[in-house]
């Protein structure tokens, strides 16, 4: 009796384990039945003539053995056969060759069988737990998770999620200014999930650009709802980042929506990233204009795509704009290259430095605004930028009518001719 109670107690323990580890009822029943069958097969050589019934609601189980009745003198295998005299104690009408079923109490198999069952169950449940953990986090790759710091080492931090599962945040995946103490909560994305020696290894990251994208999705409802799309991200963790956004609805200003009223939305992201400066720009498929925007706050005088296949571009700026384009420590130009996926070379515009030039915006009384915008889109911000190009090149690149281009060239040329006459 004590042995049976011990076995039933084991089932109660497993029921508690099921609640803690979120193992569903069907899976637990399958694991229990398979474990019982493994032990029976080891003891008797086969489990095919046994029926194992698990009752999760009652917290118990039943094992029934099926044997064929044979004459007492013909008994060869007591596991598969039963003597007729014994069979008739179970079923008085039993005849030779008929199948007889009787209940078997697992506890009667002995303490070794119970111990074997415990070990088999523990092994299967641990394996199941590992598989569930691996599958759970495999589905969450690229998603933000929160976990508490459990231990800080030189090369990585050990974190525990709300179920006590171990997660790792390597040093190279931490923002340089990150500093955590035991018990603090960390937010990061699941970067990769591996199986190392049959154990799931879950690696997190705070430096991945996807982490920045997920933060924008959390802070900006329009991105979460799909009204605004993040087209490209360039990031130097802890220093600076550039994010190109686009809206398919003209009613939405994508940059304004991302920044928020008085910077309310972007401030939360900046704080999470340890005061990482974030530039949000409007995306465009026009690569010349995209490169110009990516070099903000520098104002480009002219731009030339050197090689589209090799993705190389040259930008020309006034001398005072060059340092802005390059940025402190070369961050601005580096991020612009990462964002546009173009190799960008910066040159001083010598002509602009030696001679006086005029920005196109000053010609708004003589040239339509939409024409000026078209010229800016091909990298021409000043009169000399336009005059440096051939008539045919302006028509093709700016997609303007021949007469419109002729009128523009006449207006801009006249301005400099007037200056020369005055001199």
Q: Give pLDDT, residue 334.
A: 94
Q: Give pLDDT, residue 119.
A: 82
What is the band of 2 on the pLDDT scale with cuts at 50, 70, 90? very low
Convert the pLDDT of each residue in 193-223 to its tens digit.
999 988 999 999 999 999 999 999 999 999 9
Q: Is 422 helix (H, G, I), strand (E, B) or coil?
A: helix
Convert the pLDDT of each residue in 283-317 to its tens digit.
999 999 999 999 998 988 889 898 888 999 999 88
Give mean pLDDT, residues 49-56.
85
**CA pair distance 199, 167, nearest whole angstrom:** 12
CB 319 within 8 A of CB 348: yes
**CA pair distance 39, 36, nearest whole angstrom:** 5
Q: Which of 268, 264, 245, 336 is nearest to 297 (CA)?
A: 336
Give the C-alpha distances (Å, rounded to integers) separating 368 from 129, 228, 389: 69, 30, 20
What is the band of 140 on the pLDDT scale with cuts at 50, 70, 90? very high
Q: What percent of the chain has pLDDT over 70?
A: 90
Q: Where are the alpha helices (DSSP H) in 252-358?
A: 254-259, 264-272, 287-294, 319-326, 331-340, 350-354
> What's the token pair of residue 105?
């109490």
**CA pair distance 242, 113, nearest whole angstrom:** 65
pTM: predicted TM-score of the whole model, two decimal places: 0.68
* Whole-number average pLDDT of the chain: 86
Convert the pLDDT of each residue in 352-377 to its tens digit.
444 567 878 788 889 998 998 888 77
For residue 128, what are the contacts with CB-CB under 8 A and spacing of at least 6? 23, 27, 31
| E strand spans, 110-165 | 144-152, 156-160
For residue 73, what are the contacts with CB-CB under 8 A and spacing of at least 6? none
**CA pair distance 290, 249, nearest whole angstrom:** 19
Would you call 121 exposed, middle or buried from its count of C-beta atoms within 10 A (0-12, 13-18, 19+)? buried
- The residue ranking higher by pLDDT, 223 or 18, is 223
Domains of the chain: 2-135 (3.30.1480), 147-205 (2.40.50.140), 209-348 (3.30.300.20), 355-422 (1.10.150.20)
CB 382 within 8 A of CB 325: no
What is the band of 335 on the pLDDT scale with cuts at 50, 70, 90? very high
CB 339 within 8 A of CB 242: yes
CB 158 within 8 A of CB 166: yes
């Amino acid at each position: 009796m004590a042995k049976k109670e011990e076995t039933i107690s084991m089932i109660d323990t497993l029921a508690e384990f099921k609640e803690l580890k979120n193992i569903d009822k069907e899976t637990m029943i399958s694991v229990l039945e398979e474990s019982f069958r493994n032990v029976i097969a080891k003891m008797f050589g086969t489990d095919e003539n046994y029926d194992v019934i698990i009752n999760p609601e009652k917290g118990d189980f039943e094992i029934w053995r099926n044997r064929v009745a044979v004459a007492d003198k013909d008994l060869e295998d007591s596991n598969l056969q039963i003597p007729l005299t014994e069979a008739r104690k179970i079923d008085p009408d039993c005849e030779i060759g008929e199948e007889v079923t009787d209940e078997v109490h697992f506890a009667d198999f002995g303490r070794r069988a119970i111990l074997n069952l415990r070990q088999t169950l523990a092994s299967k449940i641990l394996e199941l737990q590992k598989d569930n953990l691996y599958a759970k986090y495999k589905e969450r790759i690229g998603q933000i998770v929160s976990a508490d710091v459990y231990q800080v080492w030189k090369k990585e931090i050990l974190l525990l999620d709300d179920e006590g599962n171990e997660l790792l945040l390597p040093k190279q995946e931490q923002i340089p200014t990150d500093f955590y103490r035991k018990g603090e909560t960390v937010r990061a994305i699941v970067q990769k999930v591996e199986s190392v020696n049959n154990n799931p290894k879950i690696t997190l990251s705070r430096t991945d650009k996807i982490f920045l994208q997920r933060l924008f999705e959390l802070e900006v409802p329009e991105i979460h709802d799909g009204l605004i799309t993040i087209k490209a991200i360039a990031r130097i963790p802890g220093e600076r980042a550039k994010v190109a956004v686009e809206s398919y609805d003209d009613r939405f200003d994508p940059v304004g929506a991302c920044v928020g009223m008085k910077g309310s939305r972007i401030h939360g992201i900046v704080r999470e990233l340890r005061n990482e400066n974030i530039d949000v720009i409007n995306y465009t498929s026009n690569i010349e204009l995209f490169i110009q925007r990516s070099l903000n706050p520098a104002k480009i005088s002219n731009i030339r795509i050197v090689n589209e296949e090799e993705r190389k571009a040259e930008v020309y700026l006034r001398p005072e704009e060059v340092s802005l384009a390059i940025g402190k420590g070369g961050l601005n130009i580096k991020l612009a290259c990462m964002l546009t996926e173009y190799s960008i070379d910066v040159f001083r515009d010598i002509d602009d430095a030696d001679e006086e030039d005029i920005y196109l915006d000053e010609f708004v009384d003589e040239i339509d605004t939409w024409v000026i915008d078209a010229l800016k889109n091909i990298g021409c911000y000043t009169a000399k930028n336009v005059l440096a190009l051939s008539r045919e090149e302006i028509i093709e690149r700016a997609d303007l009518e021949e007469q419109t281009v002729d009128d523009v060239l006449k207006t801009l040329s006249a301005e400099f001719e007037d200056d020369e006459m005055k001199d």
